[in-house]
Structure 1
Amino acid sequence: MTAQTERTQQIFQVNDTFTWLREPLLRRLPDESLCCALFTGGGSDGDLRNVVAAIRSDDDGATWSQPEVLKQLSGQSAWAPSMMVHAGQAHIFWFSSHDRHRYRKVNHLLSTGSDGRTFTEDQTILPGWNAERGVDVRHGTVLRDGRVLLPIAWLDPVRDFDPETWVDRGTNRRYGNFGWGGVAQNNQYCVGVMEANDAFTEFTRHGRVTKSMPGWEIPGVPFFENAIADLGDGKVAMLIRADLTNQLWRTDSDDGGLTWGEPRPTSIPNPGSKPRIINLPDGRIVLFHNPNKKDYDDVRAHSHKYRTPLEMWVSDDGMDTWQQRETLVPSPALAQYPDGFYDHDAHCIYLVWENDRTISFRKIAV
């Protein structure tokens, strides 16, 4: 069956004030408006001018507001990698850093107040975890048993290392996209999940998934930007971005995310870009991603040019096979960082993605 889609709208474009953008996040807020959060303001990841911003729609996506700044810290960079709406509140997980090294970050949680619209409550979270150079919190889901799980990624040091004083002395440039040289050489990339209570005031970490690679210049496969799917009966699956491997990797849990199995490569091509998983009420799983491979030795090319096409794959057997595959944005157009949600009333997915300069929006009936 072919998904019915509305036309694609361009809802944001960089300008003289917001000169760059990354990773839009789309949710319906408790007040029923649509909110698309992003980080922007500087010229790249880690720019100290970056802020957490948002655009909004009060007419179900027909029109969109001008961007507003939600959070800005003087002299610090901002990233905003995930947003979740639960128990009458919207929560943006974001982190700040006083320099370009995201691994020196501090985790924050920005939440809506009583009106279900205005982000007023900001707090520092996971303070005991920041010793591991911060935690990258990704898109969470409410399991069928009511528990809230959010995929996370972090670094475990394997030797003493200070990224502020480290000098690159010839590390292969193919590692530069994800590790800034010495960071990748001196740390093990780990993924897992964290469980939140309904008020998002307590978080418990579960799992530590890694894959050592003897003979590599770095300790292991660079796992991050992971996504989870609820398979039912206590089973949860995780797909993982794994740079240098040209594939998404997978690990599974049989106990609701408390423990995880050995990670393994899938047959799903990936150029080093974020996958997005959305669970549908009928049990199907939808994957938005870039099924492409990257030439990691092509250090002269724009690092994102391989993030194309943008496709939607649908599985009805727990992601073992994919019964439906549709191209939303064909090659060679850049289309990265897809995000969105399933709307139970409209019976469709509200989706956004970006290409470094614009954010696109589309509704897809499923």
Structure 2
Amino acid sequence: MGVRTSLAVMSRVVIARTIAGQLPYFPSAVRLGDGRVFVVWREGLGHVRSNGRIVAAESSDEGRNWSEPRVVVDTIQDDRDPMVVQLANGDLLLSWFQIDWSVRPYVCPGVQVARSTDGGASWDSPVAVGSGMVDHETAEVWHSFRAGHVVAHGQILELPDGDLLAPVYGVFPGDHRHSAAVVRSTDGGLTWPAENEIVLGRQPDREYTEPVLTLLPDGQVVALLRTDQEADLVRSDDNGVTWSEPEPSGLYASSSDTLTLSDGAVLLAFGDVSRRFNPGRPTVATVIREPRGRWDKDPQHLVIDAGQDTMDQANPAVVELPGDELLVISYDIFTREIVGEILPRTALG
């Protein structure tokens, strides 16, 4: 396993601070084709059981300074876990899921995807991601957070052939554990048919949640799956049509984000739940130099820690900047800030 270290070469930036009474959560970021870094996150009264909205900001100077935050999604539901990606044609896709906490059992209306054709200035009406995890015939019975729902964590992935994969997870009707899957869109994200869903991990005695997709330079697609133990990896060599059986990654990773760097390595940041750094869930990052192998061989570094050993942090986002710099973003509920650390690529090995 890679050596675990803390870094002293980082430069912290504050991306945004919420208003009093609101807390920041779950950032996602992408460096756009025009050079801007675009970030979205959720603001709400609490991590769960409170309504939230999705907010965005951007930087035109490689993450040093940021625009004033603006609200991009705010419905009567709890809008949460936003993820943003830019497609090859320049469009942005924003995905998120919703929870209605006003009823018992609480309802998950599903995963939504909205499109922007103007660089994030405006967004079209969202479309739903289909999934067999939702039993529409018995929705009143199965629409709870333990069965019959589908949610998401992880960016949509564009494949070399133009198809898109949306990573999702939830509980199939009749199951008692979460499963992870991908749903394919063959029309650029206009539709996400449930019949295009492919399961990545489903077992009666193991939780599979928060699938995060990575496209390697040789075309292999890797999915990192959070479990109730160490995270698992599954792989596809045919554009996500078939997948390997889950294999251990060696990482006790939650709420991860990945990015294939320009040199072919994979930047991975995650909430570390191993308690190796502290009793909480700090943001840890590593550069995986050989991503076709195990993912725990390279040094792991403590990057962002809100202190007080809280479990309510991490959910990081990662961006590659010019000049061999990396940007890792997370949140701090104590200062009510979305924060980032800019560090040299060499600092992570």
TM-score category (smaller protein): 0.7 to 0.9
Q: Secondary structure at the match of 2:123?
A: strand
- Per the alignment, residue 110 of structure 2 pairs with 106
Distance 1:350 1:209, change over 3 A: same
Q: How far did residue 258 of structure 1 move?
A: 1.0
Whether the aligned pair in 2 keeps the contact of 1:341 and 1:349 (CA below 8 Å) is yes
C-alpha distance in 2 between matches for 1:112 and 1:237: 27
**Is 1:51 the equivalent of 2:32?**
no
Matches within 5 A, 1:268-279: 268-270=251-253, 273-279=254-260
Matches within 5 A, 1:178-197: 187-197=176-186
Per-residue CA deviations over 1:279-331 (Å, capped at 9, x if unaligned) read 12332122212444269xxxxxxxx9521252324222524253443332367
Per-residue CA deviations over 1:156-213 (Å, capped at 9, x if unaligned) read 021xxxxxxxxxxxxxxxxxxxxxxxxxxx533111223334632133634213343x
C-alpha distance in 2 between matches for 1:319 and 1:238: 13
Whether the aligned pair in 1 keeps the contact of 2:53 and 2:79 (CA below 8 Å) is yes
**Is 1:338 the equivalent of 2:339?**
no
- Per the alignment, residue 289 of structure 1 pairs with 270
Q: Secondary structure at the match of 2:82?
A: strand
- Per the alignment, residue 360 of structure 1 pairs with 339
Whether the aligned pair in 2 keeps the contact of 1:90 and 1:111 (CA below 8 Å) is yes
- Per the alignment, residue 245 of structure 2 pairs with 262
C-alpha distance in 2 between matches for 1:117 and 1:251: 32
C-alpha distance in 1 between matches for 2:124 and 2:304: 37
C-alpha distance in 2 between matches for 1:102 and 1:234: 40
- Per the alignment, residue 120 of structure 2 pairs with 117
Whether the aligned pair in 1 keeps the contact of 2:85 and 2:156 (CA below 8 Å) is yes
Distance 1:325 1:152, change over 3 A: same
Distance 1:63 1:233, change over 3 A: closer
C-alpha distance in 1 between matches for 2:227 and 2:107: 17
Whether the aligned pair in 2 keeps the contact of 1:312 and 1:328 (CA below 8 Å) is no
**Which of 34, 50, 60 is matched with 2:37 structurally?**
34
C-alpha distance in 2 between matches for 1:197 and 1:99: 33
C-alpha distance in 2 between matches for 1:355 and 1:202: 36
Whether the aligned pair in 2 keeps the contact of 1:108 and 1:122 (CA below 8 Å) is no
Distance 1:187 1:311, change over 3 A: same
C-alpha distance in 2 between matches for 1:23 and 1:102: 21
**TM-score relative to the length of structure 1:** 0.74
C-alpha distance in 2 between matches for 1:187 and 1:103: 17
Q: How far did residue 223 of structure 1 move?
A: 1.1
Structure 2: gaps of 5 or more residues? 136-147
- Per the alignment, residue 229 of structure 1 pairs with 214
C-alpha distance in 2 between matches for 1:361 and 1:104: 30
Amino acid at match of 1:310: V
- Per the alignment, residue 161 of structure 1 pairs with none
Distance 1:116 1:232, change over 3 A: closer
Amino acid at match of 1:308: P
Matches within 5 A, 1:1-366: 6-16=10-20, 19-29=22-32, 32-48=35-51, 50-74=52-76, 76-86=77-87, 87-99=89-101, 104-113=108-117, 115-127=118-130, 130-131=134-135, 132-136=148-152, 138-144=154-160, 146-158=162-174, 187-197=176-186, 199-203=188-192, 205-212=196-203, 219-243=204-228, 245=229, 247-270=230-253, 273-293=254-274, 306-308=280-282, 310-320=284-294, 322-329=297-304, 335-343=313-321, 345-356=322-333, 357-366=336-345
C-alpha distance in 2 between matches for 1:337 and 1:128: 24
Amino acid at match of 1:360: V
Distance 1:31 1:267, change over 3 A: closer
Distance 1:305 1:196, change over 3 A: farther
Distance 1:62 1:93, change over 3 A: same
Whether the aligned pair in 2 keeps the contact of 1:107 and 1:135 (CA below 8 Å) is yes
Structure 1: gaps of 5 or more residues? 159-185, 213-218, 296-303
Deviates more, 1:63-72 or 1:203-212: 203-212
Whether the aligned pair in 1 keeps the contact of 2:221 and 2:239 (CA below 8 Å) is yes
Q: How far did residue 26 of structure 1 move?
A: 1.3
Q: How far did residue 81 of structure 1 move?
A: 3.3
Distance 1:340 1:103, change over 3 A: farther
Q: Percent identity?
A: 19
Q: How many residues end up aligned between the 2 structures? A: 315
Whether the aligned pair in 2 keeps the contact of 1:314 and 1:325 (CA below 8 Å) is no
Amino acid at match of 1:149: L
Q: How far did residue 23 of structure 1 move?
A: 0.3
- Per the alignment, residue 139 of structure 2 pairs with none
Distance 1:5 1:121, change over 3 A: farther
Amino acid at match of 2:341: R
Q: Secondary structure at the match of 2:50?
A: coil
Following superposition, which runs of at least 4 residues in structure 1 exceed 6 angstroms of deviation? Answer: none
C-alpha distance in 2 between matches for 1:119 and 1:220: 43
Whether the aligned pair in 2 keeps the contact of 1:103 and 1:134 (CA below 8 Å) is no
C-alpha root-mean-square deviation of aligned residues, in Å?
3.2
